[in-house]
Every structure is written in C-alpha cells, then in structure tokens.
Amino acid sequence: MNLFGRFLELSTPVRDIRESLEWYRLLGFHECAVGDIYHYHYAVVTDGRVFIGLHSADIDEISLTFVRPELNLHFRELQALGLDINDVYQGDEHFHQLVLHDPTGLQVRLIEARTFSPSAEGQTPLTGQIRNIGISARCLDDARDFWQHGGFSAHDDHESIELLSPGMTLQLQAGAAAPQLNFLCPNKQALIKLLMKEELRYQQHGELISLTSPEGLQLSILG
C-alpha cells in the first residue's frame, strides 16, 4: 500500500449542502450512501471514477482524502520523511486522522476508515468521466517530491507532471491556480443543452467548458 493509503475522495466545504447536491445531480452525478461517522451533514457524489465529498462543517478548504488503515502505526514513518503534520485527531479508535499540506498548500487528509459505501456503477454524467485533478505549484520539483514520498509515480512531459496512484491521477503544472477537476466530455452539445435549460452558468473557450459548483469547485470540461 502507498504511504498515504488509497484515495477516498476530493473533500470540499459547502455552504448549502442541498444546493450543491442538486447541482451535481442535474449534471448526472450519482449520490453515494454515507455513514453517520460525522456529526454534521455530509454527502458524496461520483462520476463513476472519482468521489467528491460535500462537507457542511469541520473542513474549511479543499483537500484530498486518503484511507490508511492502522494510521497511528505510520505516524513516525510520515515524520521521518520530514512531512509537516498539521493536525492529529485521535477520537474514535476507528477514525484517526492526520492532516498534511503539500508544497502548493493543498490539504491532504489521511483517515483510518471509509466514510461512505462505494456505489454501484451508474450512468456517466454529461461532463464525462474525470481525467485528472489539476493542481498548480510555483515549484514543481518540491511538489513532485512530496507526492512521490506519498507513493505516487511521476511522469513528466513538456508542460506538466502526471502523478499516478491507484484510484486517482494528479496533473501538476506551474502556476498558482486553485485545484480543479478535468473531464473529457463525449457529448458537448448535450451538456450545453442541459446547462442552458437549467440556467447553469458556464464559460466556453473553444472546446473547453468551465463550470463553477455552488461551493466554488472548478470543473474544466474538454469537449
């Protein structure tokens, strides 16, 4: 198993969980069954490949969340790598949590147990399935080293670095932009028709469609 564990979800804070959930449903995302481990309202949606966790409390910034069984046994291993552990939660014995930040400032959460049940495969949303999660860094080498320490394999090209781990792909590129989800859409016209019908705001630049979810998550959709 990779040091960070297996990718669980992209976690994002939400102002109005019903509004966010309905927005994703309109696009064709599937809602997953969640447990009651959190003391607040929590929902999960998926395109069939990556899960997005909608958190109404406790999480105040976008983060990548991983599941690492027996997390307390790997605490010293993480420290030995020189990783800055910002927060440690040791409540319920099945829900230990560590919080890190990568060199770009992106929050990385490691938890000991799953918080929802994986859904059965459903219909792909009109956005298509996700290609990768895009993150930007001023120093690509530092960011690449961080994720490689966590168990990701890196593949460089001329403009970006692709970081691979079971269950997810990160695309690391130079800059200072917020994280975004990059999709490949098989039917751009059907997507635009839905956006216009539901009066959902979007921007289009050539083959690229940009959406912003109610909670501020950026979706970049290539037609």
Amino acid 217: pLDDT? 94
Q: Which fold has domain 129-222?
A: 2,3-Dihydroxybiphenyl 1,2-Dioxygenase; domain 1 (3.10.180)
Q: 6-111 and 129-222: same fold?
A: yes
Amino acid 126: pLDDT? 95
Phi/psi of residue 145, each to 5°? -60, -40
Domain ranges of the chain: 6-111, 129-222
How far, in Å, CA of 126 to CA of 29, rounded? Answer: 8
CATH homologous superfamily of 6-111 = 2,3-Dihydroxybiphenyl 1,2-Dioxygenase, domain 1 (3.10.180.10)
**pLDDT tens digits, one per residue of 118-140:** 765 667 899 999 999 999 888 88
Is pLDDT above 70 for 105? yes
Ranked by mean pLDDT, which of 79-88, 104-113, 194-203 comes out on top? Answer: 194-203
**What is the per-residue DSSP string for 94-139?**
T--EEEEE-TT--EEEEESS-SBPPPPP-PPPTT-EEEEEEEEES-
**pLDDT tens digits, one per residue of 137-191:** 888 888 898 898 888 898 887 778 999 888 789 999 888 788 999 999 999 999 9
